[in-house]
Structure 1
Amino acid sequence: MSRRGKAVKASLAAAALGAAMLLAPTAAHAEIHDAQLTSAFDRLSHDRVAVFTLKAKSSDGIVDVQGTVRNPADAAPYAALSFTLVDGTNKDGTWQATLQTDIEHHPGANIAQATLRSADGSTLTPAAAFVDCYLTSVTDVEYAPKTIDIEHPDVTYQGRVMVQKYRDEPLEPAEGATVKAGNGSARTGADGGFAFTATDPSMSVVVARQGALCGNSASAPLTVVKQATVTTAQVVSVRPTAEGADITVHGTVMRRGSAGLVPVSGLSLTVDYQQDTAGAAAAPAASGDWWPTTRADGTFDASFSVTRSGRLAIETPGTFYLTGGSVDLGTVDLSRSARISGLTYAPRQLAYRGSLEVTGNLVGDWGAIAGAPVSLEFSTDGKTWTRAASSTTTASGGFVFFAADDRTKKDGYWRVRYAGDALYKPLVTAPTFIDVRYGTSIAGFNASPEPVKKGKSLTVKGQLFRFMDKKLAGPNAPVSIYFQAKGSSKWSQVAVVKTASSGWFSKTFKASKDGTWMASYNGSANYLASNKPTDYVDVK
């Protein structure tokens, strides 16, 4: 119990007025029940006789009641009690015993214990307490000064301790009694007087129960002028570990003294760390010094381990002489770094209304990040972005997106976003430009006649189409004609022809050797290259 601002409890004095207590039985049987022993003791009477009343029930009947008195409870008995049935029967009755107290030899707390035995041999041992002491009072209390602070804490107390032994007799001085207030104390003189100085005072003057004297106290309220504390602190180290991070904080606590700031030593502070549990169950702090104590120069260090990011503050408690406070150190970000490896967009030149496939792996400082939501975003200008697709990473951190909608009808920028979580920071990949072009195809390709006689004419023809919102002829487009002689692996470009408005093209050659003919539209800024159909011609 704190000595400041709290009333001194006089529990023994209350017990002396006859409050009873029931101790656990040495042998519990259902044959004896509802047993209760109480005491009545008038501390101011001349006879100073304690009366003990026992109430109990037994279906077989109580055949014997004995009693003893101890002082204190763990001492050997110093007196025997003789109980007599005064009301009821031995199956439901009241027994009483008396004791002539001896305050000279057995002052203070006394324990009376009754032992009940029933006809079947079961026993029960209820108990009751009484306190034998003379009533004391603390009078004529004076103290000065009545207003103190941490720089002027000394208080001088004086007064008298008086004792009343009997109701019809006046108070008399209590000589030799110990009186305390805070860390100061004195023994009373022959007149019961005391005087002493406490360098660490309290709000009351106390006489504890001692010898034949009961305990008592007197109020001595003080006005305490508290000085403000100034706490400064900073995070000086954050060392990441596989489990979280070790954090070190250094700071200082000063008080605003009359001559300026003064260090506060021996003050126990509290580290308040509210961990960020967004998206995860609360993760308690692992270990560390959460209650650092200031040194002689007011400085302190706190080192502790945490598993998640959180908000950090140092709490300075208020004391008898000082105000409390706190310093907010803000959020400590322990999020780990994530990255996307092997990011691939295919194809990089995308056919109009084609399918764009995006693949990659989400990994963090400690390996693959599994089960994480990732999204694919699209922008026509690299500034305004919309979500095109969503996915969740696999056990190995992999993901794949397929985009095939209106976004693949136009050029644009693509990127992958990971929103992050309580353990990992968010990330967005650099924009990647995807060029969308209209697809093309050559149909009806044919080299004829075949076979053909050497030196005769051979015509190569076909039709070029382009694919926009529908299939259209490809007019005025250059188509390259290639020839590969039989037995050769080399293609040779032999002509470039323009397509007609219908997309058809043709070119006549003089047949000279066996071989394969091929046509190809090689694409442009707006169109993808076509397929490359071939036709073999036998020259005789």
Structure 2
Amino acid sequence: MVKRIRVAVVAAAGCATLVAGPVTAASAGATAPAVTAVSVNPSPVVVTGGETVKVAFTAETSDTATQVVGWMTPPVGARTQFNLVKTDDLGAGKARWKYTKDVDRQFAPGRWNFTAAVDSGGSGGRTEAFTVKQVYQTDFDDIAARPSAVREGERITLGGVLRQNTASGWGALAGVKVHLAFRPLGGSYTRLPVSDGTDSKGRFELTARAFKTGHWRAEYDGSATALSAKSETDRVDVRGRTLHSRIVDFDAGPDPVDEGDRLSVRGTLQVDGKHGWEGYKGQKVAILFRADGSHRWDHVSNDWTDHRGRFGVDVTAERSGHWRAEFAGNDGVEGDGSHAEHVTVRKPEPDRADSRVIKFNASPEPGRYGRYLKFRGALQVRDDWGWDGHRAKVGLYFKPKGSHKWYFVKTTWSTGSGKLSTKAKAYNSGYWKFVFKGDEDFYGDSSRSDYVRVRR
């Protein structure tokens, strides 16, 4: 019986040995450490302007990992390696590891990858994709409004350059829309319905009409990749709107005029008002004169316009020259000057007696083509005893049938008794006459016309 008990103990001991035997990892089939989960926070990573975003890269491991190696892979280029630090023991051989990175505008926008593994060879690794979004800082430069002073309603232009601060530094922001805003003195900004797109160098020009003194600026609304911006301001001073004036219907006469006679200078001053051009009453207009051969305009007289804007003065004619009127303008109305009007002043002629051309006759009638016609008449002048013959140069003139113009043909002289006789060839039917142009003692005169039909 004792032997049977011993065998049982040995058997029991053998069983115990078999149960306790799988103590080693190989005999039990144990797994190697590995990364079970990775995360990126925040995701996506949004970098706004010049800010820096702290990004946490986290990995969880199992089976008592002793290290975690991480990599960041950009959209283009080589990846960057770093070591994660163990931050939490999760029990049962599990742990949490973390690495914190400052992300700024130097990071390329786009899809990145975060990979974590338990060794530098990438064993047991996991990968998580994340996006970096860059919203670049923007700013305006070279802002200027021109001109700096305008009249009410005139146009101004605000120009400048829009830039953005990327990984490469400050550069032009092209192909975006810039808006115009205005703030009157003592008021607030209002955006106007005026915009312009930036060119390849970021330049723009915004044009609008200015009605009040105030400050102008450019505004950019921003986009998914660029921050909004407002430029510095530039002031433009606005003066009250100035109306235009003009002088019309200006005239000086008579022309020519005898020295010492009265010369009238007249015109009308108008202003471009609410209802168009209309007479400008109650305004002083200056009358100026410049003698022939002179370069200086001399003030002669003034006149005030009536209710229709008319003005005028009468002066004594002394020298030949140009006359003009000038309105100096006033507050709110620009001045204007008329065109120059020339008047010739003649020396008074000595007293002369009358003359007459009588008994004019052209023959034969009808005439033959290319044959001579004979012309006769008499030139007489008045003296104290009546009409007497006068020796002088007289012209023969012809006007073709159907024409309105007289043509000079030839010159002849009257005899001492005043008789006139000459001849000329006829080629067309028409009218003939003698013309005495006068001389220093007698006024000129013209005979009656005589019609002659010419046959071929």
TM-score bucket of the superposed structures, by smaller chain = 0.3 to 0.5
Which of 1 and 2 has higher RCO (CA within 8 Å, sep 6+)? Answer: 2
Which protein shows a greater Rg?
2
Instruction: State TM-score, norm by structure 1.
Output: 0.37
